[in-house]
Amino acid sequence: MTTIFNFRRTYLVLVMLLCSFNAVAFEAFTIKDIRLEGLRRISAGTVFNYLPLKVGDRFDQDTADVAMTALFKTGLFKDIRIEREGQTLIIRLDERPAISKITLVGNKDINTEDLTKALKGVGFAEGQVYNRSLLDKVELEIQRQYFNLGKYAVRVKSTTTPMEHNRISIQIDISEGTVARINQITFIGNQTIDDATLRGQMALSAGGWFSFFTKDDQYSKQKLAADLEAIGSYYLDRGYINFSMDSAQVSITPDKQDVYITVNLTEGDKFTVSELKLGGNLIVKEAELRDKLTLKSGDSYSRKELSKSQEAIMERLGDEGYAFANINVVPNIDAQKKTVSLNIFIDPGKRIYVRRIAFRGNTKTRDEVLRRELRQMESAWYSTRNLKRSLTRLERLNYFDEIKMETPQVSDTTDQVDVNFNVIEKPSGEILAGVGYAQLEGFLFNASISQDNFLGTGNRVSAAFNNSQVNTVYDFSYFNPYTTIDGISRSFRVFYRTTDAEQANLSRYTTDSYGTTLNYGLPFSEFNHLRIGAGWDDTVLKTTYYSAQEVYDFTSKYGGHYNSYSLNASWVYDTRNRTSLLANQGMLQSVNLELVLPFSDINYYKVGYHQQWLYPFNKDYTLSLEGRVDYGDGYGDTKELPFFENYTAGGPRTVRGFRDNTLGPLDSNRRPLGGNLRVVGNLELILPIPFTTNVNSFRLSSFVDVGNTYGVHEEFDAAQLRYSTGLSAIWLAPIGILSFSLAKPLNEKPGDQIQMFQFTIGTHF
């Protein structure tokens, strides 16, 4: 109906034009003056700008036709009449009204801003000239917007209200209706892949238990298009090289409430790869490029693996500076043998150089702090590997909420690009004073001031006071990651700490200690670091009336006041993409050694090995494997590791589901004492967070923990390991790190202390 109405309206306008042209017959004359009449809102200058006539021109019927056509084309006028008075040309104009206000009523699923933007796209906005035919287009555009959301029962009605000064107000009333729901999805033509498997590739469905939350049964044209692409990818990734999506029919019931989807497809035969040939200018050795191919001879053809192979080759060429290489694949299909030969032609193009590297958005962080993290240099050739590593190192600084990298080509050149890093800085300083709670430590009072990026220098300065049932800590530390330009770091720390071990579920004793440490970090390569340092502390061990015999025995041998001078060293290999708790890719290995020197009051050493491996299956799931082995012992006159230096297990840091520090040997009072050997392992599957995307401050995972500690006179016994499984969540909240876990021990034994739900709020761990 709308199309017919527009046609009739256009036809009437043409008839009016012809009548106007024919109604006035002009004798030719020379124009000495032009007078405009009827203008109210439009300026005379605007009319003269469009009018193809001027004083001095000869006017006749042909020029009249041209003038009328030019003015009507502007769309500014409803009617135009041309008259003559002597040698003066009179043009009488009837203006179209201007749109003074557009009001949208009833729109809920599409906000007013988005609808207004869509209407501007068809030329309908406040201040524009009103045209009824354009309003019809607007109504159709609004309907189209709602059809895309699956709301086919939408109704749109427009009301116009004349206003003074030749203006008009328009109100558009929208009755959205309900979303059409998918009743059935049918496939026609699939011979080898069943319907259930194909439906599993789709985001849309005919409804299920969770459709109320996921809304996957609500039809959407865009979602269906994405689902059809997913089905096509499923076939093309499994050898069906001739697969085709023939059609997809969408039927809507008369009440516009139910949708039936029928997908017609042709599977074709399944093909295997007979061979892969590399041609063109390879730049690097062919054997090295073949190692990049994830698709091998004898495999089923896979578009996904072929694309991965192309990307891997492009990345390798990018490491040599060929940033815009073209990798073209020409398949040769043998229909009889059902095989395909892939000819991969490599055109590296020109070697590209980086002209300039710029940072934008770092209003606080000094430019040199960021540049020292870069592995891509200016005036050097472009390297994909170095740029990726540069981006990772910037992210690991933890100074920014967001970092985006752009590589625009330099104008008027064919072999140069610039590299721009656009950053959004986040607050790197904290002044905290508050109260938290942890199951182990009880209520916590803490006050601290810290600055991870002190004055934009990249140095960290921190002063803190923390008080809980277990610990009272006063701490000041300073860390400079670049004491030298080569990346040698230096840090020092002074502290005072009191500990009540009984409150930590351990044997009954207390310690008071204070001391200082000085450490240096030495980078040997991009991923290998050596850290060395020295420390001194003064510790006073105090017994209680209820202390165990082991505590009394130790103090009788070595006294209760110890000055310790120590050396420490560690080797770290770290390829993780983040240093925080939320890393999701890479590996960490570290070996740590602490040696208390012979001239100290007590002599002991501690050695530890820690490994973490993170493997992302895809963007949603990551597998994490983590293990830790720690061992300590006394030497010289000290025959054993001091019990207050023992390792402990149990709780959120080690084996969840068991109370903190309760696994392992017991003292004579049947309280946990810890041990000099600890073995802990963790397998964790990091899960996607439902109904959210790109959340970088929250992690949900399922896990299996294993571990225990062993005493001085015990040997490792795998039968004594404890296991647990459950779910865990970590949130990097403004008040600190919030950790929650729900775990079930799998092999608890008599005497074990179980704690299935564990949490820590308001304190770092």
- pLDDT tens-digit readout, 264-279: 999 999 999 999 999 9
Q: What is the dihedral angle through the alpha carbons of 132, 134, 137, 141, rounded to the nearest 10 degrees?
A: -120
Q: Are 59 and 24 in contact (CB under 8 A)?
A: no
Pairing of β 181-188 and β 258-266? parallel
Q: What angle, rounded to 10 degrees, do the helices at 221-236 and 303-319 form?
A: 80
Under the banding of pLDDT at 50, 70 and 90, the label for residue 764 is very low
pLDDT at residue number 37: 85
Q: Are 754 and 659 in contact (CB under 8 A)?
A: yes
Query: pLDDT tens digits for 149-198?
Result: 778 888 888 888 888 878 888 888 888 887 788 989 999 999 999 999 99
Locate CATH 3.10.20.310 in the chain.
2-95, 98-175, 181-266, 272-347, 353-425
pTM of the model: 0.71
Query: pLDDT tens digits for 318-334?
Result: 999 999 999 999 999 99
Query: pLDDT tens digits for 500-522?
Result: 888 888 899 999 999 999 999 99
pLDDT higher at 540 or 72: 540
The neighbouring-strand residues paired with 181 are 218, 258
Give phi and psi for 649, each to the nearest 5. Answer: -145, 155
Q: To the nearest whole percent, how much of the chain has pLDDT over 70?
A: 91
How far, in Å, CA of 280 to CA of 310, rounded? 14
Q: Are 664 and 630 in contact (CB under 8 A)?
A: no
Q: How many degrees, rounded to 5, is the angle at CA 572 between CA 566 and CA 578?
A: 125
Terminal CA-to-CA distance of the chain, rounded, Å? 69
* Tokens coding 109: 């699923």
Reduced to 3 states (helix: H, G, I; strand: E, B; else coil), residue 549 is helix
Amino acid at 173: D
Q: Are 120 and 141 in contact (CB under 8 A)?
A: no
Q: Could you tell me which CATH number the domain at 2-95 has?
A: 3.10.20.310
Domain 181-266, architecture per CATH:
Roll (3.10)
How far, in Å, CA of 630 to CA of 609, rounded? 6
The number of beta carbons lying within 10 Å of the beta carbon of residue 416 is: 17
pLDDT at residue number 242: 94
Locate CATH 2.40.160.50 in the chain.
436-761
Asked if pLDDT for residue 757 goes beyond 50, the answer is yes
- Which CATH homologous superfamily contains domain 98-175? membrane protein fhac (3.10.20.310)
C-alpha distances (whole Å) from 261 to each of 191, 210, 221 are: 19, 20, 11
Find, among 602, 690, 703, 694, the residue nearest to 652 by Cα.
Answer: 703
- Which CATH code of 3.30.70.100, 3.50.50.60, 3.30.450.40, 3.10.20.310 fits the domain covering 272-347? 3.10.20.310
Find, among 103, 79, 109, 104, the residue nearest to 91 by Cα.
Answer: 79
* Tokens coding 746: 């799998």
How far, in Å, CA of 575 to CA of 563, rounded? 38
Q: Could you tell me which CATH number the domain at 353-425 has?
A: 3.10.20.310
Q: Could you tell me which CATH number the domain at 436-761 has?
A: 2.40.160.50
How far, in Å, CA of 485 to CA of 519, rounded? 17
Average predicted confidence (pLDDT) for the chain: 86
The neighbouring-strand residues paired with 402 are 424
Q: What angle, rounded to 10 degrees, do the helices at 112-121 and 132-147 form?
A: 130
Asked if pLDDT for residue 132 goes beyond 90, the answer is no
